[in-house]
Amino acid sequence: MGSRKMVDTHDHSTRPARGALLGATLGLLLIAGCSQNSGPVAVAAGATTQPTRNIVALGRIEPTSGVISISALPGEKLTMYAPGIEAGAKVPAGGELAQTATFDLRQTQLKAAELKHAASQEQRSQELLAAQVQVEQALATHAQAEAKLREMQAQEGKLKNLSEAAAIAADDYKKLVALQAEDEELVTVHQLRRRQNASDRAAKEYEAAAAAYPDGLEAARKGVAAAEAGVRLAQQSAALAEKVDQTLAADLDRQAAATALDQAVLRAPQVEGGAEEFTVLRTMVDPGELIAQTPVIEIADLTQMSCVAEVYEADAKEVQEGQRVTLRSPAFTGDFATAGIPGRVVRIGSMVASPGLTNRNPLAPSDRSIVEVDVEIDPANAAATAEAASKVGLQVTVEFLGEVKKPDVPAKTKPAKPAA
């Protein structure tokens, strides 16, 4: 009871003071209201009625080109990492990272495919050479056939000479027969027989040549036609041998084997104009383990670092490209532990989404939507880049510095409010 009484006494003693304070406050508000309603107030051009403030958001440090996840076909077994491959190691673009268990088998298949391809190339060379020889032989046969035809065509003049010679021999024989009939002593029997033999021989020679000429001429013409057909066939065979490349199938087998072998070797990506060197962030599969859907190794180009800030949608409209920012985290070392890492806004996203980062303050709201804002860490600032590179994936606080510039508006007069 005594305690209760003391409390009651205290409450009654403070009520007059509270009443006086409330009355003074109401009086000040009444005076302020009256002064605001006394007339219009001019607002200068370019002035803002809202106090400026720094925007703070959560962000995550990432390589500008992103983290590259290297994996293999699920079900493969990881055999080994390349020498020196561990977290923090440097690897050139296209450099070997690891091998799977099928490497030896696929390497053997590639060697077999290469040998088959080399043999098919040699066979093709021989086929092309044989086809060319056939063309040359066909051309030579054609030349011989044409020569034979010209020779047969030349027989026509020879036939005329043989015909004339046979006629002359026959006339000579007839004259000798006539002379012997007039005087047997002028022409002996021997001379007459010789002339008769010469006449008969000339006649038979002409008859034989005349009988063989048509058939020989026809045969020569057919020989030329056949030789021309042979040339065309040889040329077509050579063209077909040139067109149908049997080595293409062997080359495709070789390429398939090379691709299969490449799947058994994990390498750093190599793109023209891309990064020349990567840093191993972490290995996620141990040698001897089966590869599942998860990556085997993660690498990144740490020469350019960025931060993806998650800005609340209501604050995103006040962020501008080129605006300076400061990244802060207790994990930073050296001067960056107090001064933070400087950066600038390079891109403001256009998509509103749910936040991916969790505020460690339990009283912070978690149901707000965000817009991603890309912040660049100046690559020329080697110390800042190195500090960020050593903290890939670190959640940081992003402070957007500087006042937000408001657009200029013409001066206007606020209408007077009605009196209270």
The answer to whether residues 31 and 148 belong to one domain is no
From the CB of residue 201, how many other CB atoms can be counted at a distance below 10 Å? Answer: 13
**Predicted local confidence at residue 214, as pLDDT:** 84
Within a domain: residue 414?
Answer: no
Q: Residues with Cβ < 8 Å from 146, sequence gap 6 or more? A: 224, 227
Asked if 328 and 54 touch (Cβ cutoff 8 Å), the reply is: no
The answer to whether residues 325 and 365 belong to one domain is yes
The answer to whether residues 127 and 156 belong to one domain is yes
Within a domain: residue 185?
Answer: yes
> What does pTM read for this prediction?
0.57
Q: Residues with Cβ < 8 Å from 399, sequence gap 6 or more? A: 54, 55, 56, 325, 326, 327, 328, 340
**Predicted local confidence at residue 48, as pLDDT:** 43
Of the CA atoms within 13 Å of residue 3, those in its CB half-sphere come to 0
Measure Cα distances from 284 to 80, 87, 112, 280, 297 in Å.
13, 10, 34, 11, 6
Average pLDDT score, the chain: 81
Nearest one of 415, 107, 133, 76 to 261, comparing CA atoms: 107
**Predicted local confidence at residue 70, as pLDDT:** 93
The answer to whether residues 133 and 112 belong to one domain is yes
Instruction: Indicate whether 49 pLDDT > 90.
Output: no
Vertex 88 angle, CA 82 and 92, to 5°: 55
The answer to whether residues 33 and 151 belong to one domain is no
How far apart are the two ends of the chain, measured CA to CA in Å? 48
**Predicted local confidence at residue 221, as pLDDT:** 87
DSSP string covering 298-365: EEE-TTSEEEEEEEEHHHHTT--TT-EEEEE-TT--TTHHHH-EEEEEEEEEEEEE--SS--S-TTS-
Beta bridge partners of 414: 41
Instruction: Indicate whether 6 pLDDT > 80.
Output: no
From the CB of residue 150, how many other CB atoms can be counted at a distance below 10 Å? Answer: 11
The answer to whether residues 280 and 346 belong to one domain is no
Within a domain: residue 372?
Answer: yes
DSSP string covering 364-395: S-----EEEEEEEPPTT-HHHHHHHHTTTT-E
Instruction: Write out the two tokens for 211.
Output: 């009988």
**Predicted local confidence at residue 366, as pLDDT:** 62
How many domains does one find in the chain? 4
Within a domain: residue 68?
Answer: no
Measure Cα distances from 373 to 130, 307, 365, 402 in Å.
70, 8, 20, 16
The answer to whether residues 37 and 54 belong to one domain is no
Instruction: For residue 338, give the CATH number of its domain.
Output: 2.40.30.170
Beta strands at 265-267 and 78-81: parallel, antiparallel or unpaired? unpaired
Instruction: Write out the two tokens for 201.
Output: 């021989």
The answer to whether residues 121 and 223 belong to one domain is yes
Helix (H/G/I), strand (E/B), else coil: 77: strand
Predicted confidence band of residue 402 (pLDDT cuts 50, 70, 90):
low
The answer to whether residues 243 and 115 belong to one domain is yes
Instruction: Indicate whether 311 pLDDT > 70.
Output: yes
Helix (H/G/I), strand (E/B), else coil: 66: coil
Instruction: Write out the two tokens for 149.
Output: 């035809």
Within a domain: residue 335?
Answer: yes
- DSSP 8-state assignment for residue 133: H
The answer to whether residues 321 and 351 belong to one domain is yes
Nearest one of 379, 396, 390, 394 to 281, comparing CA atoms: 390
The answer to whether residues 243 and 111 belong to one domain is yes
* pLDDT tens-place string over residues 202-235: 888 878 878 877 888 888 888 989 999 999 999 8
Within a domain: residue 391?
Answer: yes
Flag the least confident range among 118-122, 177-181, 269-273.
177-181
**Predicted local confidence at residue 418, as pLDDT:** 45
Helix (H/G/I), strand (E/B), else coil: 148: helix
Domain assignment of residue 21, given as a range:
1-41
Within a domain: residue 317?
Answer: yes
Question: Looking up tokens 């590869």, which residue turns up?
Answer: 291
Instruction: Indicate whether 243 pLDDT > 90.
Output: no
Instruction: Indicate whether 10 pLDDT > 70.
Output: no
Asked if 283 and 86 touch (Cβ cutoff 8 Å), the reply is: yes
Flag the least confident range among 35-39, 80-84, 278-282, 363-367.
35-39
Phi, psi of 351 (to 5 degrees): -115, 130
Beta bridge partners of 283: 297
- Domain end (from 183, 217, 249): 249
- Say how far apart CA 63 and CA 393 lie, in whole Å: 9
When comparing pLDDT for 262 and 277, which is higher? 277
The answer to whether residues 152 and 225 belong to one domain is yes
Within a domain: residue 348?
Answer: yes
Radius of gyration of the chain (CA): 55
Percent with pLDDT over 70 in the chain: 81
Instruction: Indicate whether 346 pLDDT > 60.
Output: yes
- Say how far apart CA 192 and CA 176 lie, in whole Å: 6
Helix (H/G/I), strand (E/B), else coil: 76: coil
Instruction: Write out the two tokens for 202.
Output: 């000339």
* pLDDT tens-place string over residues 260-270: 888 899 999 99
* pLDDT tens-place string over residues 351-379: 999 998 887 766 566 668 999 999 999 98
Calculate the CA dihedral of residues 412, 418, 419, 420 and round it to 10 degrees. Answer: -120
Instruction: Indicate whether 327 pLDDT > 60.
Output: yes
